[in-house]
Amino acid sequence: MFAVLKTGGKQYKVQAGDVLRVEKLNAAAGDKVQFNEILMVGSTLGAPLVGGACVQAEVIDQIKADKVITYVKRRRKHSSQRTRGHRQQLTLLRVTDVLAEGADSTGVQAALGARTKENA
């Protein structure tokens, strides 16, 4: 059975055994996390979410994406240029289970985003 989950402002279609790269989550390698914002499970479409559904996953690793280079050049009289790079932090997950019901009784911690400066 497949599910469509929402995390980090994006939507992912997953099923058991899939490996995902999602925006950084506040979890260590080996932790089990649970996603409760499920938009669709099989043929059941939520309005906007499917009640009681969840996707459980195991954190494989915290990784960085490939470097994205930005280059700015000011033409004519200014003759200046700047190059900067950025590597987005990601979490590598393996989906272990898709549950259509019983999300509250699993005992697995909910997936939370990366810590911000306000929470630190």
pLDDT at 108: 79
Listed in sequence order, the residues at least 6 apart from 53 whose beta carbon sits closer than 8 Å to its beta carbon are 3, 36, 38, 41, 44, 46, 99, 100, 101, 103
Q: Smallest Cα–Cα separation from 11: which of 64, 55, 43, 51? A: 55
The domain limits of the chain are 2-99
Read off the pLDDT of residues 65-116 as tens digits, 9 standing for 90 and up: 999 999 999 888 878 999 999 999 999 999 999 998 877 777 778 888 766 5
What was the pLDDT predicted at 70? 96
What pLDDT, on a 0 to 100 scale, did the predictor assign at position 78?
A: 76
Which pLDDT score is estimated for 2? 94
Distances (CA, A) of 116 to 20, 24, 76: 23, 11, 41
CB atoms within 10 A of CB 94: 13
